[in-house]
Chains A and B, each alone.
Chain A
């Protein structure tokens, strides 16, 4: 068993008094203190996200009369669902203190395999399960390297980020495959009949419901948070840490493969560079959704809100005529500020506590930028 530095270096702020759902601002330390209790509700990250979402929608409505419109809703959410569904699977991985950078390459690899199988004459109803198995195996490979050999998830998935993209290039070369059958592209592009709800949004919401129940209402979810708080303690209390972490990577691989299928069917084309650059957005959604990159904290509802915030923002920028390169700048800025804000709030709270209590609370400074590996 290798020594795990993160259990030693965990800042005291993540003491058991903080619920993983609340950001650091609201510690309901004194239940009778109504004011503080109110603050803890209002200062929840999800509430803040709802405010941001409302502001974005209000601004978007100022930009264009077509913004608040079912057609635009369908269009702007439909295009985000691949990253959205991957962010769901990324959330428990980040909560346990790991990260999976290889998802974007798995999108490319699954698309490439699907394309080759389809071009070879295999019907998609057989091709898609095969591709999902490819994703499962790729995720298992990540998980085994991380847990059995004790390698840092960051490096392993950086390696497989290159490896899976390389496999996609070997499988498909520089060619491309398109002309998937209409019954399937309808899933990627079409809407539930009679509504403006894209099929992919329905798929995302189903997946989100499953993830939400599993992470927040079952023993699996409790164990995920336990691992994120303290791996050693979790192990000694009977959590099968290695197995669970491996399983999470396997799920992430399979979900990424499914996202690859969604992307292939939505764009009706497959190239070996499908999905490149998506990891940034997936991690961004998770972080924006209030998942702590150092592990131990995060909620699925927060991530769902982050998905819709991102979709609303992208749609507003698109209607304002901002090109996609600059949209990425906005996403990058949002990413950094979504982390700075709670950090500042936490420092402010520490300062306020010191002033109130009139004594120095011993707070260890974490290494700036310290990332759990």
Chain B
């Protein structure tokens, strides 16, 4: 009898562990919720799956996802970068301004955008890693400094899509791998998505398999231990901020391609969306854990919610509230799962 109970408890525990493990893999849970939500929305609003809608959803989500990958690198080191939205805005505007003034090829625009983003990220890195300013203070400062630079460059003007070369503004609607079989037409994959997937895969592999990638986690989870085994936290954090700036630069170039119309205030408020994507994607704000794949899925998830409101004809005023609720819900479930598993561990230890 007693052994029977024990077996039952054992089996229950094993099932519990399986469910717990599933719930703890944030990427998987989020992906399932994402698909479920998409199915639900598609059932209610058929035009959700129209190719123009899919392209517009994924284009914006791809931009946020690329920036979120950079932000994830920073948050993994137990820092935060609040200035990404200003970096995106400044890069987008400067690149467009250069293209408007000079007849440059598109790759040159890319080089300028990425280079500028890298420089802005390195500036953050210098202030934080060398001058030891807490990242939240430093990037709060550069958030307004970079935005001020954008106002200075813009000088009261804005940029229209007619000012820009067609090769630049067309890119958002271009896609590859399209094909047609009989009546079935596959519209292809938008190149923004291809680029985002590429960035995510490279970043994920680098974080998993390269020495600097592992060092980011080491510094974020226990700086003391990292220092003991000879990791220089200063250069690691500097690297994270530089890469974050560079990826924000990529996002900035894409932002210009996507919108065409650029103001000095373009991108305002996106830092919140980007950090929300990272947090919802399961990257711990206390550093040392999380993946860039999670961050990217988080970006897609939030983009989907945004679009769902539109296609379901719900008022846009709800968006901010839902964003806030989703962030709080995501971090709360994390905390509760952690609390549960800690209690379960404590209980099993007593046994």
Contacts and interface: CB of A to CB of B under 8 A. Distances in A.
Contacts of B275: 158
Contacts, number: 191
B39 interface: no
Given A293-B137, A368-B132, A158 B144 contact: no
Given A155-B285, A343-B132, A371-B135, A332 B272 contact: no
B292 to A, nearest CB: 18
Contacts of B322: 166
Contact of A163 (B131, B138, B317, B325): B325
A177 to B, nearest CB: 16
Contacts of A365: 227, 233-234
Nearest to B234: A368
Given A329-B145, A332-B143, A368-B233, A344 B131 contact: yes
Given A159-B328, A336-B137, A9 B321 contact: no
Interface string A157-198: 011111111110110011000000000000000000000000
Given A162-B327, A367-B233, A154 B285 contact: yes
B190 to A, nearest CB: 27
A284 interface: yes
A327 to B, nearest CB: 9
A166 B323 contact: yes
Contacts of B184: none
Interface stretch (A144-152, A214-222, A249-257): A144-152
Contacts of B144: 280, 328-329, 331-332
Contacts of A328: 144, 147-148
B335 interface: yes
B77 interface: yes
Nearest to B284: A152
A140 B268 CA distance: 29
A165 B323 CA distance: 10
A268 interface: no
Interface residues of A, number: 58
Interface in B32-68: none
B30 interface: no
Interface in B301-330: 315, 317-325, 327-328
Contacts of A369: 79, 128-129, 132-136, 138, 237
A373 interface: yes
Contacts of A364: 224, 227
Interface in B133-187: 133-138, 140-145, 147-149, 151-152
Interface of B: 77-80, 127-138, 140-145, 147-149, 151-152, 219, 223-224, 227, 233-234, 237-238, 264, 272, 275-276, 279, 285-286, 315, 317-325, 327-328, 331-332, 335-336, 338-339
12 contacts: A9-B224, A145-B328, A149-B332, A159-B328, A170-B315, A173-B315, A283-B140, A325-B151, A329-B148, A329-B149, A339-B131, A339-B137
Given A280-B144, A284-B140, 12 more contacts: A158-B275, A162-B324, A162-B327, A167-B321, A280-B143, A294-B134, A325-B264, A329-B144, A329-B149, A340-B131, A364-B224, A366-B132
